[in-house]
A and B are shown apart, each in its own frame.
Chain A
Amino acid sequence: MPRITGDDLERITTEVARRWNGYRMRLMLCGGTGCVSNKSFQVREVLEAEVQKRNLEDEVAVVVTGCNGFCAQGPVMVVQPEEIFYQLLTPRDVPRLVEEHCLNGRPVPEFMFTPPGEDVPVPVMSDIGFFGKQRLVALRNRGLIDPENIDEYIARGGYRALRQALTEMAAGEIVEEVKRSRLRGRGGAGFLTGLKWELCRKAAGTPKHVVCNGDEGDPGAFMDRSIIESDPHSVLEGMLIGARAIGATIGHIYIRNEYPLALKRLTRAIVQAREYGLLGDDVLGTGFRFDVSVQRGAGAFVCGEETSLIASLQGLPPEPRVRPPYPVESGIHGEPTNINNVETWATVPEIIRRGAAWFAAIGTEESKGTKVFSLVGKVRNTGLVEVPMGISLREIVFEIGGGIAKDRQFKAVQTGGPSGGCIPAALLDLPIDYEALSRAGSIMGSGGLIVMDEDDCMVDVARYFIEFLKEESCGKCTACREGLEVMGAILTGICAGQGREGDIALLAELGEAVQDASLCGLGGTAPNPVLSTIRYFRDEYEAHIRDRVCPAGVCKALFHYHIEEAKCTGCLVCKKSCSYDAIEGERKAPHRILLERCTTCGACYDACRFDAVAKIPGGAPVPA
């Protein structure tokens, strides 16, 4: 491919548009990791074969896109230009879909999304509640382009912001523009991006580095992965603009090795950008020099912390160090280094292209723009959502998320990944905003939203996250290493029915000390899950400790199973499901659980179709 200049962007756009318009319809099949794991690549093979079989190659294009966002319904496919949304596709469904929709022009309602409680399917994607409330900035190209084709990114307006930054704006103006937009770091801490750029720009020393932090380590979070998978060039363009503003010549993208698809697409994007001359010695023929390299991380959560990340980039063990000096002054090899998260970088081109005022008009007073969340847990519509700042948690959970699955009662939503806090139902109307979340005892974090219902035990949730963070602590400082271990031990004790009076106070005391004394952000926020659950769900802790009862029926030592004779039909299903021979009973006669053998694994509870297996609060009674 030849090197391009600024003028070629329009030519490419026209060519792509001509190609797109040459097709009667384009089948945008989601190739995000969620859909891929639900066999979307098999669907694609069948789809392509089917299109070929019916001689539709010239009329119908099959495009594999990045993550569509509605992961709960994967594999999903959007038929353009009508924007018909198909879901839960299997290779078996494909022949009929192609036959009906592509050949006969009749969309197939059977494969469409039907909102819960309704009968009529919703054919058009933007009419679906999940998509309706979203506002896409960082995810602007999701599902609309082939992420492995740079031309399609350009056709969607890509690299225009870079051209503008290189030819029309002075470096200082770019910084000013980003400052005016009041964009804040999407990695979690929410530092003003423009201010950080300015500090790095003014810092003495060359060369300067820009780093893209793609070490997304939160369990259940996949914002950064999805952005890279669906639109890698948006990240590259953001970094190019940032480098231009700061005066950096070296770029690093730190990405988890556990993200093979993202890694592949990113690498391909870099190769294409280099071929086009968008990276390298003479970007767009303007003489600007910048290139990036990809550094694969080995999956340590602590590498998301910027000083650890820098250590890891330098080949050292990922241990954080004290700031100041901040990386903008002394980062990689002691040189000025500006680190931003994937989502921040992806947002930058839109700010330059559409102006700071446009961006600043979205959101709240202190938090501008939009934020991507991975909405997971007990919510119906799990997936990736991008919403304007200031939207309430209720809107996200109930309108976009479609409410709690199985019509259970909402209990809490955990924001900000493992070191975030749990926000109770009473605060559901809290607007999403860095400060508001912080006041509620949680953090924005990188954007994990885990929804919990009445079947979730908050003590167990706190225990889980503390155990996770304990494993992921780098172990350098006493507070985090020893403190989290002790907190984990106390929580495990409480969940095992060995809680003691005073444990809650001790946890709170420890939590506060660990927050205060830890060296880095990991330890500094690690007690959040414990402190916030103590704050909002103290009664659950007290029930565990005083009454030896787990109200949600999660902590195995604090409840036991019992088969209700009245409901049991004697179907033997539970007996067969039990791996421990702990159920006795004859066909058509009520069964009984032998508590001395029962391990409380819950297989019978899940297997029973008559709700006859019940959780009885309190540990198994000791046989007389």
Chain B
Amino acid sequence: MVGLTIDGKRVEVAQGATVLAAAEKLGIEIPTLCHHKSLLPYGACRLCLVELEQANGAALQAACVYPASEGLVVRTDTERVLRTRRMMIELLLARCPEVPRIRDMAREMGVADTRFPKKNEDCILCGLCVRVCQERMGVGAVEFVSRGVTKRIATAFDKQSPLCMACGACAAVCPTDAVNLEKVSSRPLRPIPSEFDEGLSGRPSIYIPFPQAVPHKPVIDTNHCLRLLDGTCGACEAFCDAGAIAYDQEDRVETVDVGTIIVATGFDRFDSRQITRYGYGRLPDVIDGLEFERLSHASGPTGGEILTTAGKPPRAVAIIHCVGSRDENYQEYCSRVCCMYSLKFAHLVKEKTGAEVYNFYIDMRTAGKGYEEFYKRLLHEGVHFIRGKCAEVTDVAESPEEEGKLVVVAEDTLLGMTRRVPVDLVVLSSALVPHADVADVARTFSLSCAHGGFFLEKHPKLAPVEAAADGVFLAGACQGPKDIPDTVAQGAAAAACALALMDEGKVTLEPVTAEIDPALCAGCRMCIASCPYEAITFDAERAVSVVQEELCKGCGTCVATCPSGVARQRGFTDIQVYAELEGILA
């Protein structure tokens, strides 16, 4: 450890640490551009200058490269330091007057404009791309070319490099967004689509899935991480001060013993590609509801600006309801939430872009507190509602005003005519459908599926959150399409039921359970296969089937199944049933 003083504060750092690292430890901010924690110190941009007190007078040095040494006295805020830093950023501003990062830094440092001839470059020659490619990736596809004022960064012979792995590290570290990966690599680019942004933006191979993720921690994408794939990079490990990166972690299955289970597996979106005439997946400006949600969100790929793929705000937007719902060819049921979110979208488009909005609907279903009022408000806002199912979305223009637009063809049942509406953006309000693996989940938790594939509750009115199996509860859209308030309510109810069960600490068994007489059981195990509650096990020693009374619901299936007639139901033995009948008939 060596001790040094920065701005009068003493700090101890490891031997070999830089002055910049020591300042960071003290929380003293020093501006940098060419510095990157995972790369070797370089010292090119000269923004991190600090003043060192030395025997032969004070001297300026770059904090990012100057090693801390015992007794070193550093000042980061003298007039000379600030003046020289300002000159450096002014020179960089002259080089790259249009680069936002440089402009912002200049402004922060008190440089409004540059007095020097502007060059309109976008690269500041910080060498981060060169260094990351060399040091981290071990490739060296981009390098400095020439020297002095003609120095620039290029691939060999200015041709797309066959060495480049198209990993994008150079573009990721570039502080001025000056790297055009397509010009660097001869390989096709492989952007990693962001799952959370519905593929509308890319993401790195180490990422926090979404801003509200719990736990709020990054994960490594094993399919793309170069460190895991071929042992290069490892930048995140060098970057993480906490030493939290562990490349040897693996997925593992954990077994947890629980008393109750709440199934809240949610839903899938209907794949709108199935309805080919709507052009989803074929026409770039046909998007579905969740994509629109990301597009209009402040944390989304465009920062909340609603833009078409051409990067322009749309002048007209169509929202098509009931895509895959209420449709005999797909789902017959109503997805319940689409009308309201479509109205929300319409409102957002109107508010953010002022575009004309056309809703194509079958029926407006606005059952819910305040929902109808919202619908009314939109009618006043001038949103168009066209009652009729959309026939197709096409980019084939039939008139000049349709040129370059998407045309929504629909029957207007109120007017009794077919309409062609040219728009710039089409939003499909696609149906909510059960997960593709719903059958597996049902089998795992002994659940039944209702019509359409959603899980069946025990009783639609009296036990709407309980599954037929004891201790299993349902919450949310896995049980049926529902909106957020309903989901929250059902979730809370399920949690309360689960808690109530656990709080009691004991379960009340059904009095009417089955029993198998071991003396007579032939051990054919047909009852085991028939039991919906997995309440019958096979005793291999005695070669008989045994009913576990705690699990038995007394449904009687085994009784009816047993070929030997040795399965009996308590309270419903043949004798008792006959006696009841006789009593009734008497």
Contact = CB atoms under 8 A, between A and B. Distances in A.
B149 interface: yes
Nearest to B45: A478
A501 to B, nearest CB: 13
Given A472-B148, A517-B46, A322 B91 contact: no
Most buried by B among A471, A478, A479, A481: A478
Given A478-B46, A479-B91, A482-B91, A470 B67 contact: no
B451 interface: no
A161 B43 CA distance: 43
A135 interface: no
B60 A516 contact: yes
B290 interface: no
Nearest to A510: B87
Interface residues of B, number: 37
A475 interface: yes
Interface in A454-485: 470-479, 481-485
B49 A517 contact: yes
A481 B87 contact: no
A484 B124 CA distance: 15
A482 B94 contact: yes
B44 interface: yes
Contact of A486 (B43, B117, B148): B117
Q: Which 10 A-B pairs have the closest CB atoms?
A: A475-B151, A513-B87, A482-B91, A322-B65, A473-B148, A516-B60, A517-B46, A486-B116, A475-B148, A478-B46
Most buried by A among B46, B125, B149, B150: B46
A317 B131 CA distance: 13
29 contacts: A322-B43, A322-B66, A324-B67, A470-B148, A473-B148, A474-B148, A475-B147, A476-B125, A478-B46, A478-B91, A478-B92, A479-B88, A481-B149, A481-B151, A482-B91, A483-B91, A484-B149, A485-B149, A486-B116, A489-B116, A489-B117, A513-B83, A513-B84, A513-B88, A517-B49, A517-B60, A517-B87, A519-B44, A519-B62
A619 B127 CA distance: 45
A90 B103 CA distance: 66
Interface in A512-553: 513, 516-519
Contacts of A518: 46
Contacts of A49: none
A475 B146 CA distance: 9
Most buried by B among A481, A486, A516: A516
Given A322-B41, A475-B125, A506-B115, 16 more contacts: A321-B65, A470-B148, A471-B149, A473-B147, A475-B151, A478-B45, A478-B124, A481-B125, A481-B148, A481-B151, A486-B91, A513-B88, A516-B84, A517-B46, A517-B88, A518-B46
Nearest to A302: B147
A29 B46 CA distance: 52
Interface string B378-392: 000000000000000
A450 to B, nearest CB: 22
A549 to B, nearest CB: 25
B292 to A, nearest CB: 44
B148 A321 contact: no
A479 B65 CA distance: 16
Nearest to A479: B46
A446 to B, nearest CB: 21
A519 B63 CA distance: 11
Nearest to B92: A478
B115 A317 contact: no
Contacts of B553: none
B84 A473 contact: no
Most buried by B among A302, A474, A481, A483: A481
Contacts of A199: none
B46 A317 contact: no
A325 B67 contact: yes
A39 to B, nearest CB: 36
A300 interface: yes
A509 interface: yes
B61 interface: yes
B144 interface: yes
Nearest to A478: B46
B115 A519 contact: no
A322 B117 contact: no
B352 interface: no
B95 interface: yes
B80 interface: yes
A591 to B, nearest CB: 41
A298 B393 CA distance: 66
Contacts of B91: 478-479, 482-483, 486
Contacts of B147: 300, 302, 317, 472-475
Contacts of B60: 516-517
A474 B87 CA distance: 20
Contacts of A472: 147-148
Contacts, number: 96
Interface string B85-122: 00110011011000000000000000000011100000
Given A516-B80, A517-B88, A477 B43 contact: yes
B544 to A, nearest CB: 79
Given A322-B66, A478-B45, A509 B148 contact: no
A483 B115 CA distance: 12
Interface in B39-80: 41, 43-47, 49, 59-62, 65-67, 69, 80
Contacts of A324: 66-67, 69
Contact of A470 (B94, B146, B149): B149
Contacts of B41: 322
Nearest to B51: A516
Contacts of B87: 483, 509-510, 513, 517
Interface in A313-365: 317, 321-322, 324-325
Contacts of B127: 476
Interface in B15-60: 41, 43-47, 49, 59-60
Contacts of A513: 83-84, 87-88
A519 B116 CA distance: 22
Contacts of A517: 46, 49, 60, 84, 87-88
Interface string A142-179: 00000000000000000000000000000000000000
B295 to A, nearest CB: 39
A506 B43 CA distance: 25
Interface in B136-193: 144, 146-151
Interface string B268-303: 000000000000000000000000000000000000
Contacts of A474: 147-148, 151
Contacts of A482: 91-92, 94-95
Contacts of A483: 87, 91
Contact of A519 (B46, B94, B148): B46
Contact of A475 (B43, B92, B149): B149
Given A517-B60, A517-B87, A476 B44 contact: yes
B144 A317 contact: yes
B161 to A, nearest CB: 18
Nearest to B83: A513
A355 B402 CA distance: 98
B503 to A, nearest CB: 67
Given A472-B148, A482-B92, A513-B87, A322 B45 contact: no
Nearest to B61: A322
Nearest to B47: A478
A373 to B, nearest CB: 26
A486 B117 CA distance: 8
Nearest to B80: A516
A237 B438 CA distance: 87
Contacts of A519: 43-44, 46, 62
Nearest to B151: A475
A322 B95 CA distance: 24
B64 to A, nearest CB: 9
B66 to A, nearest CB: 6
Contacts of B146: 475
